[in-house]
Amino acid sequence: MSKGYTAKDIQVLEGLDAVVKRPGMYVGDTGVRGLHHIVFEAIDNAVDEFLAGYAKQLKVVIHKDGSVTVEDDGRGIPVDEHPVLKTSALQIVLTKLHAGGKFDKKTYQVSGGLHGVGISVTNALSEWLKVEVRRDGKSYYQEYRLGKPLADVKPNGPASSTGTKITFMPRSSTFEDTNFQYEILDNRLKELAYLNKGISIDFIDERDGREISYHFEGGIKSYVEDINKNKEPLHDVIYFEKKENSIVIEIAMQYNAGYNERVFSFVNSINTVEHGTHYSGFSTALTRSVNDYLKKNKMDKMKVAGDDAKEGLTAIISVKIPEPQFEGQTKTKLGNSDVKGIVDSIVYEKLIGFLEENPAISRIIMGKCLGAAQAREAARKARELTRRKSALESGSLPGKLADCQERDPSKCEIFLVEGDSAAGTAIGGRDRKTQAILPLWGKMLNVEKARIDKVFGNDKLQPIILALGCGIGEDFDVSRLRYGRVVIMSDADIDGHHIATLLLTFFYRYMRNLIENGHVYIAMPPLYKVVKNKKVYYVYDDNEYRKLLEEIGKDGTVVQRYKGLGEMNSEQLWETTLDHENRYMKKVTIEDATIADQMFSILMGEEVEPRREFIMRYAKEAELDI
């Protein structure tokens, strides 16, 4: 027991001090995610006004100075005096953590911002915040510095409309970087427009003049069409909506010629990336509908499992619930037990009816599901063969693997190296204690265009599966991973990037948890070796190369451009790419699963034109981070 631990050691943080002291508790972190979270809090309020039936328009502006404005045409936050606290309601909302109109369900039947912190956290983590409210024919204004009001709420002239406008500058002392990323805000706003059909959203970035507007009368039906536009859809989107017990269920679904499941679930416009009871209800009903239809029409050659019924399926499950129960602070998994049964019965009723009324589409879907079931059985046999092989052979590691001596996975890393020549150089230059090298050779399988049975049987992927030791697909278990870091090391040219993308596609589709848990990295070997006055510089991109030649001058400079890893000797590869002290490496992350999924489909799918457009658009700003 700690000595001297008394009442005087207990801190009481008043008002918003707790948020400033521990921002991560309220916005997740102080990095990119937390920075954008403070904008989403303001956006969520505006969307809640739309869901309540009072707003139609949302406008978000990133200003040249880095501040952001969020404006809606809803009712406007109340400004009159609170009967108990004797302060303007507007000031209470902006300064009290658990204050708002979302607790008794009278003001808002459905809300995305359910932790009760909301806009007060945005205020707490801003250098300054300005708010204008239009209601009752008047405009009201208040300004804050570091979460504290500079003056009381005051009338600011007449107003012919209603709504709330909030402009704020994030605190540079709180966030690692206060530069808002256009793509993150744009993706969320577009998603909200899909999930709330009829809302109009304008997004303006004054820093570079970009402007875009979103309005989807088709709602999530349009969302599925957008996701599937590059994937050979097999039929028109199936859509249905029903309200039961104050819960609104919306489903849009469409099969495509691919093999990957893309089912995204939302609760009150929040992306539940870990799914939950609404997803379980959908999956159960889908599988039951397919098997019942097969049996009724004497097509049940084999039983279709849940994964079979979702092969090549793109679907959006959107539910609006008055009292959602989320598991965990991040709101990524729905826990309401009653929702599973409601979604199950609605989806079964609507889907079995659709299948019976549309025999042509039903035949396509049934053929797709039965084909998946047959492939699953082939994959099971291939999986069993792989297990037996591993058990019979001396050890289960691939012959070309140069393993490391350390057995603690957290201290180990494996480099997947393109080509035997480069792998030989890497083996000669590595730290044998902690670094393993696995050579890759030949053309890698594009798993975006292949079923899982083909993946198990592929001689290029088998060594990777065996070396990592954690299985793939439904057998995947990250606790069995033999290396804390899985590093893709390929040449810094087009072929090298292609191999890296093929490997990332494989990890994303069959070992996604590897990426989500931060185990996947991309090595960044240098492009140039520059020598001047016996001093050696390793340079990693063309911009850095040009900058170095202004700084040191071209006269007397010897430049070597590395076309591949094999051009470096073991010592050079160690000091530039393998040495913990000097190397440059990128960690692969997934900021948004929906966006990552669409990117892989564009880059690795069947359609050429979307890939060409993507490359032409982003070539100059390409990053390997996902």
Sign of CA dihedral 406, 410, 412, 416: positive
Q: What is the mean pLDDT of residues 241-260?
A: 92
CB 343 within 8 A of CB 333: no
Domain boundary assignment for the chain: 17-214, 220-376, 397-521+589-606
How many other β-carbons are positioned within 10 Å of the β-carbon of residue 323?
Answer: 11
Q: What is the rounded (10 degree) CA torsion for 442, 446, 452, 454?
A: -40
At 475-510, the pLDDT tens digits run 788 999 999 999 999 887 777 778 888 888 899 888
At 143-186, the pLDDT tens digits run 999 999 999 999 999 999 999 999 999 999 999 899 999 999 99
Query: CA 69 to CA 165: how far, in whole Å?
Result: 7
Q: Which of the four CATH numbers 3.40.50.670, 3.40.50.300, 3.20.20.70, 1.10.10.10 does domain 397-521+589-606 have?
A: 3.40.50.670
**The pLDDT of residue 606:** 59
Query: CA 239 to CA 262: how far, in whole Å?
Result: 16
Catalytic residue, chosen from 236, 493, 541, 613, is 493
Say yes or no to pLDDT of 289 above 90.
yes
State yes or no: is 418 an active-site residue: yes
> Which strand ranges, in their side-by-side order, compose the sheet holding 528-532?
535-539, 528-532, 558-561
**The pLDDT of residue 452:** 76
When pLDDT is cut at 50, 70 and 90, the band that residue 375 belongs to is confident
**The pLDDT of residue 625:** 40
Least confident window among 21-35, 341-355, 608-622:
608-622
At 50-107, the pLDDT tens digits run 988 899 999 999 999 999 999 999 999 999 888 887 888 899 889 887 655 554 455 5
What pairing do the DSSP bridges indicate for beta strands 313-320 and 262-267? Answer: parallel
Say yes or no to pLDDT of 374 above 80.
yes
Catalytic residue, chosen from 132, 308, 403, 418, is 418
Q: Which residues are CB-neighbours of 430 under 8 A, at least 6 positions away? A: 402, 415, 437, 574, 578
Tokens of 49: 């006004």
Rg of the Cα trace of the chain? 28
Query: CA 455 to CA 436: how far, in whole Å?
Result: 23
Helices 220-228 and 182-195: angle between axes, nearest 10 degrees: 130
**The pLDDT of residue 178:** 93
Q: How many residues does the chain have?
A: 626
Q: Which of 415, 465, 409, 470 is nearest to 439 (CA)?
A: 415
% of the chain exceeding 70 in pLDDT = 85
When pLDDT is cut at 50, 70 and 90, the band that residue 447 belongs to is confident
Q: Which of the four CATH numbers 3.40.30.10, 3.30.565.10, 3.90.190.20, 3.40.50.10420 does domain 17-214 have?
A: 3.30.565.10
Q: What is the mean pLDDT of residues 546-558?
A: 86
When pLDDT is cut at 50, 70 and 90, the band that residue 292 belongs to is very high
Q: Which of 431, 428, 503 is nearest to 468 (CA)?
A: 503
**The pLDDT of residue 377:** 85
Catalytic residue, chosen from 338, 495, 571, 613, is 495
**The pLDDT of residue 104:** 47
Least confident window among 124-138, 361-375, 567-581:
567-581
Q: Which of 119, 264, 112, 255 is nearest to 196 (CA)?
A: 112
**The pLDDT of residue 300:** 82
Say yes or no to pLDDT of 326 above 60.
yes
Say yes or no to pLDDT of 395 above 60.
no
**The pLDDT of residue 27:** 76
Query: CA 472 to CA 26: how far, in whole Å?
Result: 35
**The pLDDT of residue 109:** 54
**The pLDDT of residue 618:** 47
Query: CA 491 to CA 516: how far, in whole Å?
Result: 25
State yes or no: is 493 an active-site residue: yes
Query: CA 213 to CA 202: how far, in whole Å?
Result: 4
Q: Where are the beta strands (DSSP E) in 262-374?
A: 262-267, 270-271, 313-320
Tokens of 92: 């209470």
**The pLDDT of residue 55:** 93
> Is 99 or 544 the better-scoring residue by pLDDT?
544
How many other β-carbons are positioned within 10 Å of the β-carbon of residue 281?
Answer: 24
- Report helix, strand or coil for 146: coil
Query: CA 32 to CA 463: how far, in whole Å?
Result: 36
Q: What is the mean pLDDT of residues 566-573?
A: 85
Say yes or no to pLDDT of 461 above 80.
yes
State yes or no: is 49 an active-site residue: no
Q: What is the mean pLDDT of residues 244-259?
A: 92
CB 107 within 8 A of CB 100: no
**The pLDDT of residue 626:** 37
**The pLDDT of residue 328:** 58
**The pLDDT of residue 444:** 82
Say yes or no to pLDDT of 113 above 60.
no
**The pLDDT of residue 314:** 96
Q: What single string gives the DSSP state of each residue in 163-221? A: EEEEEEEE-TTT-S-----HHHHHHHHHHHHHHSTT-EEEEEETTTTEEEEE--TTTHH
CB 278 within 8 A of CB 272: yes
Catalytic residue, chosen from 127, 132, 308, 491, is 491
> Is 570 or 589 the better-scoring residue by pLDDT?
570
Rounded to the nearest integer, the mean pLDDT of the chain is 84
- What CATH code is assigned to 220-376? 3.30.230.10
At 523-543, the pLDDT tens digits run 988 888 899 888 888 888 778
Cα→Cα distances 558→172, 426, 538, 548, Å = 42, 25, 12, 13
> Is 621 or 209 the better-scoring residue by pLDDT?
209
CB 362 within 8 A of CB 234: no
Say yes or no to pLDDT of 391 above 60.
no
**The pLDDT of residue 592:** 61
What pairing do the DSSP bridges indicate for beta strands 313-320 and 520-523? Answer: unpaired
When pLDDT is cut at 50, 70 and 90, the band that residue 224 belongs to is very high
State yes or no: is 274 an active-site residue: no
